[in-house]
Amino acid sequence: MYSGSMTTTPERLIEATRGLLWERGYVGTSPKAIQQRAGAGQGSMYHHFSGKPGLALAAIRRTADDMRATAERVLAGEGTDGTAYGRVAAYLRRERDVLRGCPVGRLSMDPEVIADDELRAPVDETLGWLRGRLAEVFQEGMDDGEFDPSLDPGRTAAAVVATVQGGYVLARSSGSTAAFESAVEGLLGLLDGWRRA
């Protein structure tokens, strides 16, 4: 049940759906489970949303927006030394609920989401945005002489995203955050080799 600032029925429905999608995936998230968690009736759900797909889309978009905002704060330099390496390191080491996995990345493994162009779009757009934003940070580091000019910003950004997403999989499969942390520190070691003294 929700209280406090999430008092409107649409807000409660979206937040309930976000949580259920992260925990159970699309197939495992039934309208009844959403209604129970949100404390809303069936009529309320269908009054505000066209059904489960419409509600799921609103929830996925909200989750994607939150992920972008969190990543942008760190990549823009908040709480870092301001260097490109420091910003990427802060992004990689930021606090995460590693054993739950990425709330956006996990959706890419959900066959129902992937089969639906509309549901898949915010997942693809968010991961694409993240690769692009990281590539910008690497390019800034190259422009400032921080990284070797032979570094490929786009490919390196893709490697960062793949390390994070793959790190979630390794951690979840082993039941330990150590696998995620090892992948992150390994990547940072490789990136350190591209830094100019």
- Using the predicted structure, report yes or no on whether residue 176 has a pLDDT greater than 60: yes
| Count of beta carbons in the 10 Å neighbourhood of residue 164 | 22
Mean pLDDT on 159-176: 96
Asked if residue 1 belongs to a domain, the reply is no
Looking at residues 111-124, what average pLDDT do you find?
93
Written as six digits, the tokens of 73 are 């704060």
pLDDT tens track for 60-80: 999 999 999 999 999 999 888
Q: Phi/psi at 29 (nearest 5 deg)?
A: -100, 100
Selection from 92, 75, 66 nearest residue 167 by Cα: 92
Considering the domain boundaries, does residue 123 fall inside one? yes
What pLDDT is recorded for position 51? 82
- Sorting pLDDT into bands at 50, 70 and 90, what band is 6? low
pLDDT value of residue 109: 87
Whether 2 is covered by a domain: the verdict is no
Binned at pLDDT 50, 70 and 90, residue 1 comes out as: very low
Distance CA 125, CA 43 (A): 32
Q: What integer pLDDT is reported at residue 2 of this predicted model?
A: 46
What is the arithmetic mean of pLDDT over 143-167?
97
The mean of the pLDDT values for the chain is 92
The backbone torsions φ and ψ at residue 175, rounded to the nearest 5 degrees and listed phi first, read 75, 20
Report if residue 3 sits inside a domain: no
Share of the chain above pLDDT 90, in %: 72
The answer, as to whether pTM is greater than 0.85, is: yes
Determine the structural domain holding residue 127 and report its residue range: 9-192
| Total domains in the fold of the chain | 1
Q: For residue range 9-52, list pLDDT tens digits in order.
A: 889 999 999 999 988 888 889 889 998 999 888 787 778 888 88
**Position 35 in a domain:** yes
pLDDT for 197: 67
What does the pLDDT read at residue 7? 77
Confidence at residue 94, expressed as pLDDT on a 0 to 100 scale: 94
Find out whether 76 and 82 touch, Cβ atoms under 8 Å.
no
Distances (CA, A) of 6 to 10, 16, 48, 114, 183: 9, 11, 15, 30, 37
CATH number assigned to the domain comprising residue 109: 1.10.357.10
Q: Does a structural domain hold residue 197? A: no
Please indicate, yes or no, if residue 4 is contained in any of the structural domains.
no
